[in-house]
Amino acid sequence: MIGGRLIILILYIVGVYVFSFIIGVANLFTFNNVSLESLVNKTFDYIIVGSGSAGSLLAKRLSQNKNLTILLIESGGDVRPGFLDIPSLGLMLQGTAYDWKYTTVPQKWGAYGLAGNRSKWPMGKLVGGTAQFNNLMYLRGHPDDFKEWYKDLPSFDYKRDILPYYKKLESTGDSFLSRLPFTSSAAEYALNAFKSLGYNVNKNQLDSFVGFGSPYVNIKNGKRWTSFHQLLSHDRPNVFLLSHTTALEVLFRSNYEAYGVKYIRSGETVVSLARHGVILSAGVIGSPKLLMMSGVGVKSHLQSVNIETKLDLPVGDNLQDHITTGFSLVTFNDTLDFGVGISTMLNPLTALEYFRTQSGPWTTVGCEVNGFINTKNPKNPLAQPDLQLMMLPLGIEEDSGLYLRKLMGISDATWYNYFHHVNKSIAVLPVLLHPKSRGTVRLESKNIDKQPLIDPNYLSVEDDVETLYEGIQIVKKFVDAEPMRNLGAELNALPLPGCEHLTFDSEPYWFCYLRHMTYTAYHPVGTCKMGADDASVVGYDFKVRGTNRLYVVDASVFPTLTSGNVNAAVLMMAEKAADVILEQLFLKTGFCCILEIFKMKTVCEI
């Protein structure tokens, strides 16, 4: 038994190192044959910075008009071994050359169980961006989320202004949706447990209404499916992709009209020009960073890093993230096997099943049961939820601390005195959907290669701790539910370093627990907020306030977090932005045609 486990562990370690080597080497290559010389001072209709979820979708939509040329600039590489489309392997890209490997500054109010109180924030640095290693869950959010976004627009109507864009995504295959190709035996037990607690189960999990079910995922024929895959699957002679290329600065004419982008590739600095617009889709960290590097940001901050302020806007404010907690809290006897452990994953029969049927454990996305709860209004099935609950059939002790612990940055004290002693657990994770805490992204210096200072200010508002505490109460009821009791589920009562002095299961204990076990749910948003007030960086037309022809379209423009995983909302917004941007172009073109008729073309340079 011990010998078998040892062999699996050795295979696992060797596998991780071989894997890291292969992808590290792959990242050095490029299939991209656009030569840099051909781009110097060349004019495109649009330049998009960042080929992630939003950037790829925009590139596809804009390039459907074959008269428009698009330059798509991406910092990361464009060669990924094909096997990385196997959903369960996404996780293994974190911490590699395909990850920006961001880390927050030490947190004052939470994350005490992480090394240095810092949270690790993986983000995709490759074509396709973060969706190349995300967990593929697709959730639209709740209609009230968007009412909040558009609160300064009295005419806003969810069914007219948002829903059609989701439906467009879902019906044209741009965001290919499937049910989970695989669930372990834990999923059924968990659903039964939630049902026995009186929750609605088998709810439609597309919109985030109260209830439990299994999530939709972006998987096509057993493979990861992103907006970049979608872009590649279309004829796109008018999209020029430049990978391994980092945008350094947006260039402005007078009146803050963006006319081009300065970027660096293989040590060479080049400028390309944009006839109709520059679109920043560099993500929640990349877009504010680039704006600040271009002189658009909080004046006092830009002065402190010696950047001349062109426009004083609250760039980098309003940072918010979904916080989760509760790893390895629901424990079992270690003989229990739900059929998704490391030994199953490394079993050649599992591989065979995947290649034969495009399903099985290799298609797992982690979360198998997903639910939404409104703790203040639990009986109303249409209420906007304040908590999400995700059930994953594994605990982070599963790999004995070899990999997951490092990815999450768990401190040695917490690992060795807590997780290390857990034999078998599942993750039932409450996620705080609408945190009140707000943080910032700031530059450390004007050196583009320096990581920015990321401070989500986790749990700085007490209300956030209180809502998560309600989540813990639900986890406790879950453990006590008959289907779980029959399996021998127990609440992990091991003394948690930092909270040992408190009585286990008392309110002070859980409040302490939450401030130690504070984890990102990987959904940071908000650093270039959209809106009409002074706290906004872009208007409802995605244009940076006070500028012309400069847009931001990505997770950074969310005014607030949506109820659930955010990628679907990023894609929906990119759909909407494509419409808005093209509409502006056609209005302008139409106007120019009229001017041309009256021989006044010179005043109208489109």
Ligand X SMILES: Cc1cc2nc3c(=O)[nH]c(=O)nc-3n(C[C@H](O)[C@H](O)[C@H](O)COP(=O)(O)OP(=O)(O)OC[C@H]3O[C@@H](n4cnc5c(N)ncnc54)[C@H](O)[C@@H]3O)c2cc1C
Q: Determine if residue 350 is labeled as part of a ligand binding site.
A: no
Q: Please state the closest distance from residue 590 (CB atom) to ligand X, in A.
A: 31
566 binds ligand X per the rule CB under 6 A = yes
Residue 93 DSSP one-character state: G
Q: How far is the CB of 419 from ligand X (least distance, A)?
A: 19
Residues 517/243, Cβ–Cβ less than 8 Å: no
Q: Which of 61, 69, 76, 540 binds ligand X (CB under 6 A)?
A: 76
Q: How far apart are CA 98 and CA 76, in angstroms?
A: 7
For the bound state, the minimum distance from the C-beta of residue 129 to ligand X, rounded and expressed in Å, comes to: 2
Using CB under 6 A as the binding rule, whether residue 297 contacts ligand X is answered as no
- If the CB atoms of residues 129 and 360 are measured against ligand X, the closer one turns out to be 129
Q: What is the DSSP string of 273-331?
A: EEEEEEEE-SHHHHHHHHHHHTTEE-HHHHHHTT---SEE--TT-SBB--EE--TT-EE
567 lies in the binding site for ligand X (CB under 6 A): yes
Minimal distance, residue 56 CB to ligand X, in Å: 8
Tell me: does residue 125 bind ligand X (CB under 6 A): yes
Residues 40-59 that bind ligand X (CB under 6 A): 49-55
Show the CA angle centred on residue 217, arms to residues 423 and 83, nearest 5°.
Answer: 75
Tell me the closest approach of the beta carbon of residue 485 to ligand X, in angstroms.
Answer: 30
Residue range at the interface with ligand X (CB under 6 A); choices 5-13, 70-78, 194-202, 438-446: 70-78
**Which residues lie below 8 Å from residue 384, measured CB to CB, with a gap of 6+?**
142, 144, 145, 208, 374, 434, 563
Burial of 294 (0-12, 13-18, 19+ CB in 10 A): buried
- Spatial contact of 420 and 448, defined as CB atoms under 8 Å apart: no
Binding pattern to ligand X, positions 322-341, x when CB under 6 A? --------------------
Q: Under the criterion CB under 6 A, does residue 577 sit at the interface with ligand X?
A: no
Question: Of the ranges 12-20, 280-288, 326-334, 377-385, which one interacts with ligand X (CB under 6 A)?
Answer: 280-288
Could you tell me which of 86, 447, 70 has the C-alpha nearest to residue 236? 70
As a whole number of angstroms, the distance between CA 443 and CA 455 comes to 11
132 DSSP 8-state letter: G
β-pair partners for 233 = none
Binders of ligand X: how many residues, by CB under 6 A? Answer: 39
- At residue 570's C-alpha, the angle toward residues 56 and 387, to 5°, is 150
Residue 240 — φ and ψ, nearest 5°? -110, 110
Q: Is 123 a residue that touches ligand X (CB under 6 A)?
A: yes
Nearest-angstrom CA–CA distance, 86 and 361: 10
Check: CB of residue 216 under 8 Å from CB of residue 372.
no
Which residue minimizes CB distance to ligand X?
A: 52
By the rule CB under 6 A, 77 interacts with ligand X: no
- Work out how close the CB of 361 gets to ligand X at its nearest, in angstroms, rounded to a whole number: 18
Of these, 80, 301, 310, 523, which contacts ligand X (CB under 6 A)? Answer: 523
Of the candidates 408, 430, 428, 431, the residue with the CA atom closest to the CA atom of residue 492 = 428
Q: How far is the CB of 233 from ligand X (least distance, A)?
A: 18
Q: How far is the CB of 446 from ligand X (least distance, A)?
A: 13
Stretch that binds ligand X, among 14-22, 27-35, 67-75, 460-468 (CB under 6 A): 67-75
Stretch that binds ligand X, among 10-18, 132-140, 178-186, 451-459 (CB under 6 A): 132-140
Decide if residue 93 touches ligand X (CB under 6 A).
no
Could you tell me which residues are annotated as the binding site for FAD? 130
Residues that bind ligand X (CB under 6 A): 49-55, 73-76, 122-125, 129-131, 134-137, 246-247, 281-284, 286, 290, 522-523, 554-555, 565-568, 570
